[in-house]
Amino acid sequence: DAGVIQSPRHEVTEMGQEVTLRCKPISGHDYLFWYRQTMMRGLELLIYFNNNVPIDDSGMPEDRFSAKMPNASFSTLKIQPSEPRDSAVYFCASSRPSTGRDEQYFGPGTRLTVT
């Protein structure tokens, strides 16, 4: 299996620009998670989906952040407009707890730098 795929791996953008991060979960997984990791705040859950439906978005920091999952094999996290404090590593993870296996499989992350 190819694992969770994220793109781009690195993104550098200027404040005010729109940023779109992409994720392809492992085939057959029905849960998808977006996390943000910073030195100051550690690993934070932003939002997660089950069967393409958002279940909990309480971790999304503000309205500038939005996430979609149009189908079982693709999800996006968009920041518009971006700000320097959004600089972080963003991880996507997927799981298939319907089989009784709760572990999440993480992608390699997208390192976002907003200048």
Partner 1 sequence: AQSVTQLGSHVSVSEGALVLLRCNYSSSVPPYLFWYVQYPNQGLQLLLKYTSAATLVKGINGFEAEFKKSETSFHLTKPSAHMSDAAEYFCAVSPSGSQGNLIFGKGTKLSVKP
List, edge to edge, every strand of the sheet that includes 5-7: 5-7, 19-24, 74-79, 65-71
- CA-nearest of 52, 50, 55 to 98 is 50
Tokens describing residue 25: 């979960």
Name the one range near partner 1 by CB under 8 A: 18-26, 70-78, 80-88, 101-109: 101-109
Please report how close the Cβ of residue 16 comes to partner 1 at its closest, in angstroms: 27
Please report how close the Cβ of residue 83 comes to partner 1 at its closest, in angstroms: 24
Q: What DSSP state is assigned to residue 93?
A: E
When the beta carbons of 64 and 111 are compared against partner 1, the nearer one is 111
Q: Among residues 19, 33, 60, 77, which is the contact residue for partner 1, using CB under 8 A?
A: 33
Site residues for partner 1, 69-88, by CB under 8 A, read: none
Peptide bond into 25 cis (omega under 30): no
- For residue 4, state whether it binds partner 1 (rule: CB under 8 A): yes
Nearest-angstrom CA–CA distance, 38 and 40? 5
- For residue 100, state whether it binds partner 1 (rule: CB under 8 A): yes
> Which pairing describes strands 88-96 and 31-38: parallel, antiparallel, or unpaired?
antiparallel
- For residue 48, state whether it binds partner 1 (rule: CB under 8 A): yes
Which residue is listed with tokens 């989906």? 49
| Interacting residue ranges for partner 1, rule: CB under 8 A | 4, 31, 33, 42-43, 45, 48, 50, 55-56, 91, 93, 97-98, 100, 102-109
